[in-house]
Amino acid sequence: MIIYEFKVKGKDKQYRAIDDAIRTSQFIQNKCLRYWMDNKETSLNRYDLNKHCAVLAAEFTSADELNSMARQSAAERAWSAIARFYDNCKKKVKGKKGFPKFKKHCRSVEYKTSGWKLSNTRKAITFSDKKGIGTLKLKGTYDLNYYNIKQIKRVRLVRRSNGYYAQFAIDVDVKVETQPTKEMVGIDLGLKYFIADDKGNVEQSPQFYRSAEKQLNRANRKKSNKYDSKKKKAKQPQSTNYHKARERYARKHLRVSRQRKEYCKRVAHLLIQSNDLVAYEDLNVKGLVRNRHLAKSISDAGWSTFRSWLEYFGHKYGKVTVAVPPHNTTQNCSNCGEKVKKSLSTRTHVCPHCGFVEDRDVNAAINILQRGLSTVGHTGTYAWGDLPSWAVGASLLSNGESGNQESPSF
């Protein structure tokens, strides 16, 4: 499964129709969630929520205007959150189990195999439901002519700060045969260096957010200066200037996130192309960002995004990616195995037992590679048994992003 994204061009009336379709999809998703909450004792399943969509269509005109399969997609989003909650309860996940919440700011609507039609040149798409979206031009570098229409399993319209996009989920085998390089590498993710490998090579952290922080803060202040709290209390809409400032601020954040994504994609692609096995830490990023002193730097590094792309490219090119437990990879000596305690400020590993001296991150990378080699023969590619990120591509992510959305250079 691969996902191609195009920017769509249309008239203002069509953009308003897309917004209406997104609101309707959010409404159906929330209604299905309420239906589940009111009938939890009756053991509802995903098919019951799909059937409830027909009830909503008969009751609400706006729901009836949306394509029937788009209504089912909204119900499936609700069921996805419910199933995740049940799964966390069964696994006895520590802390909050992720009880499903009502959506407030949905940014996309998803169609399945009906409700849309591509033009003969595959450069435009027409939506045929009663929302009045009509024909939209597709702007992008991909060519959909290589694929059969039946291979397109989902079409999603996404609203972002700089416009509207169409995503196509295409059912195709993404595997590419490559010649083995007979190389392997262990990598340590860090804040001083983005990655350090077991051979001593390091990749500097670009810190895109830090570089743009002054501009972001300035744009945020301009947005706040145009916000009128009196209108908020009176339940009146904010001024046009406020919404313009809000959109400028959002576009700056979008640019930073895209820079980070492309950087992580490039580094992951180079690692996979030059090695047959890549071992990396199975970091709990959600837990690490709770540290208020390091949260901004960790988020700016984009470790989760990097891991997603590493696993996807590993699957695509038939390379082995191994996630190993990170415990004591920094503290243990990679030469003799003895534990050498050190604080975060200590950047050089000096072993008092064997005299081995190495950079802290490089020492950790050697330990990671050793663990990866001992793990891969027992439990397979994914050390902790989790689904790789590329496997999520069968259903587009709810925020309009995708873990396996490629750029033309790949």
pLDDT of residue 408: 44
Helix then strand then coil, % of the chain, to nearest 5: 45, 20, 35
3-state secondary structure of 2: strand
Helix 240-274 × helix 303-316 angle, to 10°: 50
**Is the per-residue pLDDT at 378 higher than 80?**
no
Confidence of residue 406 (pLDDT cuts 50, 70, 90): low
In the predicted model, what is the mean pLDDT of residues 353-359? Answer: 81
Question: Tell me, what amino acid is at 204?
Answer: Q
The encoded tokens of residue 142 equal 């991909």
More confidently predicted of 23 and 363 = 23
**Is the per-residue pLDDT at 393 higher than 50?**
no
pLDDT of residue 341: 85
Q: What is the DSSP string of 174-220?
A: ----------EEEEEE-SSEEEEETTS-EEE---HHHHHHHHHHHHH
Question: Tell me, what amino acid is at 75?
Answer: A
Can you give the pTM of this predicted structure? Answer: 0.81
pLDDT of residue 330: 82
- Express each pLDDT in 238-249 by its tens digit: 999 999 999 999
Query: CA–CA separation, 115 vs 68, rounded Å?
Result: 8
Among candidate residues 120, 108, 113, 126, the one with its CA nearest the CA of residue 18: 108
3-state secondary structure of 227: coil
Among candidate residues 311, 226, 234, the one with its CA nearest the CA of residue 269: 311
Sign of the CA dihedral running 155, 68, 80, 161: positive
Q: What is the DSSP string of 152-183?
A: EEEEEEEEETTEEEEEEEE-------------
In the predicted model, what is the mean pLDDT of residues 180-206? Answer: 87
Contact yes or no for 50/72 (Cβ under 8 A): yes
In the predicted model, what is the mean pLDDT of residues 84-96? Answer: 87
| Cβ within 8 Å of residue 39, ≥6 positions away | none
